[in-house]
Chain A
Amino acid sequence: MSVLLEARNIGKSFGGVQALKDVSLAIAAGEIYGLIGPNGAGKTTFFNVLTGLYPKDGGEVIFNGAPLPLGSPHEVTRAGIARTFQNIRLFANMTALENVMVGRHARTKVGVGGAVLRFSRAREEEAAIRRRAGELLYYVGIADHARKLARNLPYGDQRRLEIARALATEPKLLALDEPAAGMNATETAELKTLIEGIRADGVTVLLIEHDVKLVMGLCDRVAVLDYGEKIAEDVADVVKRDPKVIEAYLGA
């Protein structure tokens, strides 16, 4: 298996708090990779550094054979990493369809001139954006909600919409930040099916999750963060029995 993403010695501190200490990990193309850890372990910070929202203090990330432009979120997205957010961040006053259409921004080109004059190329691109967005809504199972405002969608469907929007950017790696948070057992099971489907369609998945059962059932490999350090990385069954992991979760 080829390595899709390799993070080397990522460090990040906020004032005196060292949120990440030399975290290194490698994600293979086509796997579902889990990132777990107790509250405050640095999972979301790692996500934010990886997707360019936080400037890093040290280290580098090689993605798809090239250094990732850390510190610049839109360039990270263009390079092929899409993400969702722990606390859902949708464009609340846009329709579900429009939300996904925004996701096509990075992969489309029409500028002011094209938008105003609507040459045939601009019209075709706009139609393609709309078509693709519709397909993605169908793919995640919320096609019925296309015309509804994002803020009026049920919670679980908002999570799905965020995934559809992220997929619209044509990612090679989809990074999900606690996608099952707040979901009941049925919704979680459906989410699991969706994530497996996404992987089957060729997208590598990086998953932060609190729901240990979901992570263990879904992920090929799991890394565990504690106090900003990686304390374990292996297949789920091994990690589960690692004494350091048990200690981190249950306390000494």
Chain B
Amino acid sequence: MNPRHRAFVGTALIAVALAMLPLVVGGALGNTWVRVLDYALLYIILALGLNIVVGFAGLLDLGYIAFYAVGAYLYALLASPHFGLHWPAWAILPLGALVAGFFGVLLGAPTLRLRGDYLAIVTLGFGEIIRIFLNNLNTPVNITNGPQGIARIDPISVAGHPLSKPIEVFGVTLSGVMLYYYLFVLLAIAIVFVGIRLQDSRIGRAWVAIREDEIAAKACGIDTRNVKLLAFAMGASFGGVAGGLFAGFQEFVSPESFGLLESVMVLCMVVLGGMGHIPGVILGGLLLTLLPEAFRYGAGPVQQALFGKVLLDPESLRMLLFGIALILVMLYRPAGLWPEARHRRELSGK
């Protein structure tokens, strides 16, 4: 087989596997796990967005979840009984990307001179400001409905069919979570595509140059201000899309979904997977969503079988193991589980 054929067959196999996955998982483990897959895909989209800012451009952002919140609330406000608006998802999602991108520039502009820890602190504050705004913008004019959040959000509809309703295809019933899975997979693939194309471009090289040495980047004629703002805006817009999907999928948003811990979680996915390496970041997103869920459902029964009773509360055990896993990875694979294989490329001599 020539390489072209092999690439084609490989792509086809991956496509079939991705298409079959929810059916297999749903059949074997139930729809709860398909829902977990849906969340994993949302987190992957988020992590890919943050990867542009942190991984490529080297700008440590601890408030990234704010853009997710902006996208989610935009969807909630434009497609729920709260304001009586019911815009279609295909209109809101691109708008969400734009608005979140604008917020990205808003965060980026005052922080252009900051790097490392200082930037981290400012972005952390920004993330909290957005969350606190969402929490308190119910008086004097009720915009966000405060801590109660916004409920009864319209589900995302494709071709007039709300994805929350099951559909029957060739005698197979596809549940709502499965339909969402297919939508999320398609969007995630699109975002991976955008990420890869950007990475191998003049813009991607400029981001990495800034990460490596900002002064040298300037001396190469890179307008570091604009290129950094572009990184913030691109990363934020991915987050905005993910937020819109999240709101339509959950049909409910509240400020507590957008806390600091969520930002840290997404950052962990990027760092753990391998900063700046798209496949690594996808792996990080998958692991950090699936493993905690596996512990949540698995820890109780396993203890029951081993010791005859549940010794440790699964919930606290989950966090304990999660912490240990993070420490181990940082000790033994500080560049991440699947870092960029620069050296391999170097040796292959392509």
Contacts and interface: CB of A to CB of B under 8 A. Distances in A.
B349 A89 contact: no
B93 to A, nearest CB: 17
Interface stretch (B81-89, B146-154, B213-221): B213-221
Given A74-B220, A92-B212, 20 more contacts: A53-B215, A53-B219, A73-B215, A73-B219, A74-B218, A77-B221, A78-B221, A83-B219, A89-B219, A91-B209, A95-B342, A95-B346, A101-B205, A102-B206, A107-B221, A110-B202, A112-B203, A147-B349, A149-B343, A165-B220
B201 A115 contact: yes
Most buried by A among B206, B221, B230: B221
A93 B342 contact: yes
Given A112-B230, A147-B346, A73 B202 contact: no
B202 A129 contact: yes
Interface string B190-224: 00011001100111111011001101111111111
A147 B218 CA distance: 23
Interface in A103-134: 103-108, 110-112, 114-116, 118, 122, 125-126, 129
A214 B67 CA distance: 56
Main secondary structure of the interface of B (DSSP, over half): helix
Interface of A: 51-53, 73-74, 77-78, 82-83, 85, 89-95, 98, 101-108, 110-112, 114-116, 118, 122, 125-126, 129, 147-149, 165-166, 168-169
B100 interface: no
Interface of B: 193-194, 197-198, 201-206, 208-209, 212-213, 215-224, 230, 234, 342-343, 345-346, 349-350
Nearest to B224: A74
A116 B349 CA distance: 26
Contacts of A77: 218-221
B346 A102 contact: no
Contacts of A94: 205, 208-209, 212
A106 B227 CA distance: 12
Contact of B222 (A93, A95, A106): A106
7 contacts: A91-B209, A94-B212, A98-B205, A102-B209, A102-B222, A115-B202, A169-B220
B194 A74 contact: no
Given A73-B218, A90-B213, A102-B220, A149 B202 contact: no
